[in-house]
Chain A
Amino acid sequence: MQWETVIGLEIHVQLQTKSKIFSGASTAYGAAPNTQACEVSIALPGVLPVMNTEAARLAVKFGLAIGAEINQRSVFARKNYFYPDLPKGYQISQFEIPIVGKGEVEIEMDGKRRKIGVTRAHLEEDAGKSLHENFDKETGIDLNRAGTPLLEIVSEPDMRSAEEAVAYLRKIHSIVRYLGISDGNMQEGSFRCDANVSVRPVGQSEFGTRAELKNINSFRFVEKAIRIEVDRQIDLLEDGGEVVQETRLYDSDKNETRSMRSKEEAHDYRYFPDPDLPPMILDDAFIADVKQSLPELPHERKERFIDSFSLGVQESDQLTQDKALADFFEEVNTTSAAGPRIACNWILGELSASLNNEDLEITQSKISAPQMATLLDRIHDKTISGKLAKEVFAAMWQGEGDADSVIEKRGLKQITDSGEIEAIVDQVLADASDQVQQYKDGNQKVIGFFVGQIMKISQGKANPQQVNEILRKKLD
């Protein structure tokens, strides 16, 4: 039987505010346990929540960026359940009326564009952390994270493959980074993803029973976790079994998903409007103000790259997905006289390859944008050839210094003195009378042989254009 995969994602994005969503405690990452857990964070009796305006701003920013409906009246509700990292015994979230309603984002798969629906995005507070390793018979609770603002972005079940899910996830990641509403750091948990995965026979319109994969903490794992879960479900169904609706945890060490027993107990969250928080009303001025602060978004930047720099669709897309990469490109391009074409080639070529090799982010690049710009300028002003530039790049990457000092140290400066080049040409032609004869007999291809010989003798430093010119002059 042919199976179709159906995936919906719930993405939790920690919003970049200084203080928590309902209290004045700091949201800074990495503090000693419970030192950023104020009386509201630890839910002392009698304390009350007061909403952070910035959290509302950032949520609206996201909504506007994806062209979603903004609910100018939204309601905070309590989601009731007991867990030691949830100090009040309820999470303040939004249920019936979220701040952001329906919207959509576009992803590109193999050159084809697809729209993925966003059902809603709502504000809520993060829970604390449970530390299971520190003690033998006990779990330690750190409430520093409790109350950090989250935007939960819920997609429609619109994705049909693990790759699409990752493309969508990357898209949302790119948007939140562009907007500056989150640092998007997956390792630190500021960008987390749950995936609802089901399969159904191709052609069937109803959805299959889904499993929810919890807290997958890297793009790579999202793809792997979904793949392995899809395989599990198909195997199960083909063996005549049934998929159980449940929460499953992805184990990246074993590359398997397993049922989370502790969450098996049927939940009844008993949502109701939080009586401590009246409905949040955002007036037109608030929305207009946020709208004005919207930066250029990835798709807008991509269009600009295509239009202003005459770059291709795919390379523009590659450059603009990651805001930091696009920023790097633009910095190189404005600093260097070499032009956008060459900058694009080098950034998507050598630079990206080197980053990938060492699993680095663009922000961790060993060559800065100004250094890169100088390198490209040296190609542009013919100090070095494109070919030797690769050697220079590699040396710079290894930390041998900037372009000029590497060129200097290694003596890679291009030979542009025509007298010097002519002498080499003469020597090569004198040593290869057979090939000269072939050329004269009409075999144009041997010109490549001559160039090769000349470059060999000049150690690649002879200016190729001049070499060509002089060769033709001598032979014709």
Chain B
Amino acid sequence: MHEKTVQQHAEALKKGEYSSVELTTHYLDRIKQHESLNAFITTTESQALEQAERADKRIQSGDATTLTGIPIAQKDIFCTKGVLTTCGSKILEGFISPYDATVITKINDQGMVMLGKTNMDEFAMGSSNETSFYGPVQNPWDTGKVPGGSSGGSASAVAARLAPVASATDTGGSIRQPAAFCGLTGIKPSYGRVSRYGMIAFASSLDQAGIITRNAEDAALMLQAMSGFDARDSTSLDLEVPDYMATLEDSIAGKTIGLPKEFFGDGVDSAVADAIQLAIRELEALGAKTVEVELPNSEVGIPCYYVLAPAEASSNLSRFDGVRYGFRAGEYDDLNDMYEQTRAEGFGEEVQRRIMIGTYVLSSGYYDAYYIKAQKLRRMISDDFTRAFQKCDLIAGPTTPGTAFPLADKNDDPVAMYLNDIFTNSVNLAGLPGISVGAGLDEAGLPIGLHLIGKYLDESTILNVAHQYQKVTDWHLKAPGGFA
């Protein structure tokens, strides 16, 4: 049952091959069976079964959408009414959210069934899922390896077939990098496409919700359901969402794929570089043309990102002060001590590190040298993409320089960890859509991700190309050993 994709489940439910309750029970059992992956922070069994029952009634009464009755795992960054919402942090201890994020409402309206809340790097700050207060998540392809982050729980859950699909968010690569590390399809749409309301903010001008699935077709289907205008988010786009499914089968012959030379340099593992070259051959075989493009400022994407994201985060995380919800320290002398103890005990090391960087770059005397300079660089990086897209329809490259690394490997070196997102975070800086699809395995059998970047608002093209690629390859069909 769990080998099926979202689309396949939808057909089976429609035909009555099994009910949503049966399907849900099956996945809940698998989650229990594979608890050691630590992919979930919370499972919501009783609510899931209630939702599944309702979904079955909807299906019987003919009131169902394609997604009705299909289980989903939600990243624990989304507020879910009546359910513990932690963002992977101790500071949200006991935070039973009194409201639903817009994404959750939209998915619930489809009649999907929430299995639980997936583990993640604390406040989405991390690339290995090791900063979670709830402990690291294992990569099903090799349980000694990280699943990537910050949406590591979502990726691990989908890869291990504990859920057919999981929601995720991406501030600098947090959907695409774990999708790559776990051999999955992960799409981050254009900034503004999916509402941020109820998605706990890390860096507001970079955060964007998306989805991790097993293939591009499911990604298109899910993105369709999640996207659209939301009056409660001032950065939500009041534009009609294209029909992503309608263009999946379009031929990609004649499409021009830009290959930035900066993405194919020395820093990339040879296995990854080889796999990406092969993938590009496949796309050429489908009739796509390739052209070299330049993203000359991409090398400073990481420095720029590590000014802007922490700056916004330092402010976004000020609301966690132990006053109105969440954790409050047990002992303190006075108000300031209460704040300081609560935040020092409630936030993990990486989060505190980033709050300090952000506070520093915004503080008096450093604002111009760091924050303003980074914003100017952001514009230059964005302009680079605009220029590149004059020559091509989409850009391709590796999602990450290497494959999944061992747990605890980069814990002592934040800088080495940050470099993991070298190809992904400039896409967030520019607000562009990006997708990662499985494009091979390295010599250790670990997945490699192909990264496709689209023009602003053009998710359709990258979904179309990803789908056409998956029609002629089978990387997306491979399951990690023991989880098939």
Contacts and interface: CB of A to CB of B under 8 A. Distances in A.
A46 B325 contact: no
A189 B312 CA distance: 32
A442 interface: no
B46 interface: no
Given A39-B98, A87-B323, A80 B364 contact: no
Interface stretch (A98-106, A267-275, A351-359, A361-369): A267-275
A276 B325 contact: no
Interface string A76-89: 00101010100111
B430 to A, nearest CB: 15
Contact of A87 (B324, B362, B367): B324
Contacts of B311: 272
Contacts of B235: 48, 275-276, 278
Contacts of A39: 98-99
Contact of B364 (A139, A268, A272, A275): A268
A460 B324 CA distance: 73
A379 B444 CA distance: 108
B362 A270 contact: yes
A84 B335 CA distance: 9
A275 B319 contact: no
A89 B85 CA distance: 21
Interface string A46-60: 111111000000000
Interface in A303-343: none
Contacts of B13: none
Interface string B226-244: 0000011111000000000
Interface residues of A, number: 29
A84 B338 CA distance: 11
Contact of B234 (A45, A88, A271, A276): A276
A453 B261 CA distance: 115
B323 to A, nearest CB: 6
A48 B234 contact: yes
Contacts of B196: 46, 48
Interface in B344-361: 359
A144 B102 CA distance: 25
A277 B235 CA distance: 7
B324 A42 contact: yes
B234 A50 contact: yes
Contact of B319 (A89, A141, A276): A89
Nearest to B192: A278
A82 B318 contact: yes
B201 A46 contact: yes
B198 A275 contact: no
Which of A43, A44, A78, A84 has the most chain B CB atoms inside 10 A of its CB? A44
B95 A275 contact: no
Contacts of A346: none
A50 B233 CA distance: 7
A82 B324 CA distance: 14
A44 B200 CA distance: 9
Given A45-B87, A270-B359, A90 B318 contact: yes
B435 to A, nearest CB: 24
Contacts of A88: 318-319
Contacts of A45: 79, 85, 87, 92, 95, 97, 200-201, 319-320, 325
Contacts, number: 99
Interface in A1-55: 39, 42-51
B112 interface: no
Interface in B73-128: 78-79, 85, 87, 92, 95, 97-99, 101
Nearest to A45: B200
B251 interface: no
B79 A78 contact: no
Contact of A80 (B87, B101, B201, B315): B315
Which of A46, A80, A141, A270 has the most chain B CB atoms inside 10 A of its CB? A46
Contact of A84 (B205, B323, B325, B362): B323
B233 A48 contact: yes
A56 to B, nearest CB: 13
B56 interface: no
Nearest to B358: A270
Nearest to B318: A89
A174 to B, nearest CB: 35
B362 A275 contact: no
A43 B315 CA distance: 12
B315 A78 contact: yes
A46 B98 CA distance: 12
B168 interface: no
A46 B101 contact: yes
Given A45-B319, A84-B335, A278 B234 contact: yes
Nearest to A270: B362
A87 B197 CA distance: 18
B448 interface: no
Contacts of B336: 82
Contacts of A272: 311-312, 315, 362, 367, 371
Interface in B266-321: 311-312, 314-315, 317-321
A82 B339 contact: yes
A87 B325 CA distance: 11
Contacts of B92: 45
B363 interface: yes
Contacts of A46: 78-79, 101, 196-201
B341 interface: no
Interface in B202-238: 203-205, 231-235
A50 B232 contact: yes
A355 B92 CA distance: 57
B304 to A, nearest CB: 15
Contacts of B233: 48, 50
A277 B92 CA distance: 25
A47 B201 CA distance: 9
Interface in A131-180: 139, 141
Contacts of B362: 80, 270-272
A51 B234 contact: yes
- Nearest 9 CB-CB pairings of A with B: A89-B318, A275-B205, A270-B362, A275-B204, A46-B198, A45-B200, A43-B319, A46-B79, A46-B200
10 contacts: A42-B324, A44-B79, A44-B324, A45-B200, A46-B79, A46-B199, A90-B315, A90-B318, A270-B362, A276-B235
Interface of A: 39, 42-51, 78, 80, 82, 84, 87-90, 139, 141, 268, 270-272, 275-278
Given A87-B324, A270-B364, 15 more contacts: A43-B324, A44-B97, A45-B87, A46-B78, A46-B201, A47-B198, A48-B235, A50-B234, A51-B234, A80-B314, A80-B315, A141-B323, A272-B315, A276-B201, A276-B235
